[in-house]
Amino acid sequence: MVTVEKALELYGAPVYVRKEIVHNRHVVETLAGKGAVFVEENEEVPPGSVVVFSAHGVAPEVHDQAAERGLKAIDATCPLVTKVHQEARRFAREDYDILLIGHEGHEEVIGTSGEAPAHIQLVDGPDSVDAVTIRDPEKVVWLSQTTLSVDETMETVDRLKKRLPMLQNPPSDDICYATQNRQQVVKDIAADCDVMLVVGSKNSSNSVRLVEVAVQHGARSGHLIDFAHEIEDAWLAGAASVGLSSGASVPDNLVQDVLAHLAERGFTSVEEFEPVTEKLTFSLPRELVKDLKNAEKAKAAAAK
């Protein structure tokens, strides 16, 4: 999100963004209002323009297409997704079969698969395990989309390992730390919640998973909302407690709006659960950092 904002400040509008920068309606609408133009493919971007690749990552061919059109590409791929891409390339070089656990059609899965299409096979949940085919049962590894349900992913892995006892784990955990932390808290509080509200968009995989996890772990009902005004009073009827969480890319002001909405309806006592303090921060894309530094140098020189 900051990458697009900084790009708009530096290059001026329009800045094109391939796909939604993150899967959040409010973020996309806000950036569009500032001059970002969201497109599906590079072909929609005028030659010579600035294009930002979304946090979900892209296949190598997308970079090649941008270069062919003379686009200035800024890669805003989440570093956690980049790590999975690097793992895919490494295991492909070593001629492994790679079982990518994820949802068919998700942009992250498409991008990761594009790193090694001849070696990667999608496994879309436990029910897809029986269809897996491999060349060498001693050279097979699993990787995953970063925004999955931890429990469902491990269920898929367990079923895979029953078929493939030599299946190797990824070098490090692939599922996003923010996704895992939120799922764990929702598990911990779900049984004490009559209603669970999750702030997030319908196309946000990690937000959708939070609703599923809440209901699976004891919440009477769960609802996904983009904004506070979408909450229906009927959901709250008879409820003594309401749980609230949000997707990993949801701005905090949207969560505060929901708290205010609930307070107006009598839910004034708030208990916060934060077992893990998230301190990890990521740098801006190096292409953007370089241009920002050059702009600062030019500005300083002009001021002399």
Residue list for the binding site for dimethylallyl diphosphate: 23, 56, 106, 204-206, 249
User: Which of 273, 75, 104, 281 has its CA nearest to residue 177?
Assistant: 281
Phi, psi of 37 (to 5 degrees): -115, 120
Cα–Cα distance, 167 to 161 (Å, whole number): 6
In angstroms, how far apart are the furthest CA atoms of the chain?
Answer: 70
Are the C-beta atoms of residues 262 and 294 closer than 8 Å to each other? no
Catalytic residue chosen out of the listed positions 87, 107, 108, 115: 108
68 is catalytic: no
Residue given tokens 């590409």 in the structure block: 73
Residue numbers belonging to the annotated binding site: 23, 56, 106, 146, 204-206, 249
Contacts of 231 (CB under 8 A, 6+ apart): 197, 223, 225, 258, 261, 262
Evaluate whether 206 touches 200 at the Cβ level (below 8 Å): yes
What is the chain's length?
304
Annotated binding site for isopentenyl diphosphate: 23, 56, 106, 204-206, 249
Provide the annotated active-site residues. Answer: 108
